[in-house]
Structure 1
């Protein structure tokens, strides 16, 4: 192969991609030949010495696997210079094994949280020094192979570990058709080290109401887990162990970017009855910062009329979300019960915010979490505490010297229907006001962003996040009144948002 071509490819690859290529070549290059590789040029030299670059097929497969399809153009150019009579099917062109590609796919879909779990679970099998040197899942799996804990013929331990990390990672193995049978786990669960939180009936492995007469034993190992039928009969599913089904309680959040975060920020109002909303830009900044770190592509729309809001959301709902894990929509505006206001003073029903993203209208979002966060009043009433102070006339009109304002409007009762996999975080309960600091932003949004950042580090699910928000906001007192946020949801799984 042309040396200039290989040089061009070498210049385009970073160190992590070179490390990935070395891992993919473990089956064709001996350990000593790989250890001295510092860049792609050295790797290509060793592959060339083994006769593995006589034609483009092996290198092409390597580049495709690591997602550098753009570099294939170099190979096409080089191919035009080679002898057309060369045989592309020579013995020097090995096929990259499905096993090796599968391990790389697991690495690609592995979050930092799951990598930490994986290393913890292997703490009894690998030394501390070995684990500390591992910065990626490829490093961990390479160490497992060195210790004889992982091979094409024996993936039992890897499966056991992935079962306790993410069901989607185990499904990669099943999808590749690996036939090894999972054995009894040789490592202990890590629920005490990485706790997951739930609310009410959000329990891992819970039985659906339609499965009357069935009960699932949660105390048995995955290889022995069975579903007990009335009369003493038992049924063991062949497709997935029960421990894998328990992991399916979590929404998949592996893509980068995760999805879109759309922020509608209404600060300036043309309606006669609605004042402007100073301080809302601080909320926009906080939301943009947090959701960008959480892996979302943030898009901001400012001062949108009722028609503008409808148009933007309708167009968004028609998009293809096949390659996205979730959707986030944040609306910062004035509001009343069941509605928010456009910048023109016209009402937009909360129902109309969610309607474009129901499974019927946006099928590629079906089964994926759709999160809505609404900073707006939901009425004109004040939320009182245990020992409320009667409002003064000055408080009712709004103290011009105070930095706290209400995001309110006239009251009109209207219910909000929710379909599957929706979450709507409301700044306040129905009929009551929410408060905004004209300098630092709204009480609810600022606390939400703070708790999302904490949860990204601790691994708490979104419902735990909103519970913390409820508690912290409810502790405050604003113009002698209280504020009580209210999440509403039809989520069917637990959702954990981590920083990328």
Structure 2
């Protein structure tokens, strides 16, 4: 297209058109001070050329911008029809769909809605806000509304009764999450949905024998009470090493709640102890967040960075601080660095603490995780650093390792089962690296040999699901081991890819974080 024709189109832009285009151009990484300095379309066009967004042989950015702001008349003057633009828009776009979404949302927020939203935000400088677009710009600058955090915006829309826009926001989040889902080994998430909780009861009731109409699936509230019932109706241990005969499902007394035939055993004196959790702080929570694998790529060019892992790190920090743990974050550790940090923490005084948690976010292979240098560390080597023989202060105390990493490079297959009775036994593969030390729990994102998945935008399926359940008040009465069963169920039902987490449990008592 001739440059003089482009000039005519730019001169036809109204002030509102220019403001809309400048808003969408924020997705291009142009500094705010530059965008706010432009007063006409020609200056902006020249700037876009200098930054390489518009090239002599590729002028597609301008018609795309015109398409988004509704100036189809100017777009057609460039020889691009609306129907043709729609086809192009379904392909990779130059404008981030997040900013397109915000722009569309702004067109539907009425002035009265904006006034109420500003009233709910007394710390926002209202003098800078002349429109909904400027409101989004100001909120973005203050990081109250970002691509990774739309919670504040959602709450505002709820408070002004714009539930139609809340639905659109939720749909955008779901679509964005699916589009960014990739495997953990080649840098990777899907959000938890409420239906997962009802079906998780099937796992809890798997030990029972059901027949015909005798089976009753518990409700969401029933699930939250299961752990409390287990605590009240299980075995009293007379010594830390006493060997007990496992109870059948019927003997626990739980069967009477969910089966038509009531259980009759006397369970008045049955009790399983909890780990004491009355310390404040509870103990250390170590988070190792391996994101940058540029060092590993010197030898293994295919190892990618773990984009999106900071979302998991932030969620874990917030969650464990809420439960009164002393949180320490270590970024981008080599294999030797990971072991060194755990050995250091083992030498600290844990006598005043009740528990220890370690969360490792990294790439991995079967029974190991990778440092940022690409070297492997066996899971058993990690857990042994705080085992009873190496850390006396944690003897008889729960030591939990949460591992977000692949355990291989295979994709798990789908299995369509007509009924619960057709379920097959899990295959755990080579278990030689499962730690035999007491009071240790390994919560793995996936079973040996398979991928785990992480969204570049929302974090990993496993960590995000775990943190959502831990922060949900409905599960305060659920012990940690049972909570991992609910995580298993939720993650296993994701449909974009198949993933099955795996807890390896050596705990001897019930563990409650609250």
The answer to which structure has the higher helix fraction is 2
Say which structure, 1 or 2, has more relative contact order (CA 8 Å, 6+ apart): 2
What is the TM-score normalised by the length of structure 1?
0.47
What is the TM-score normalised by the length of structure 2?
0.46
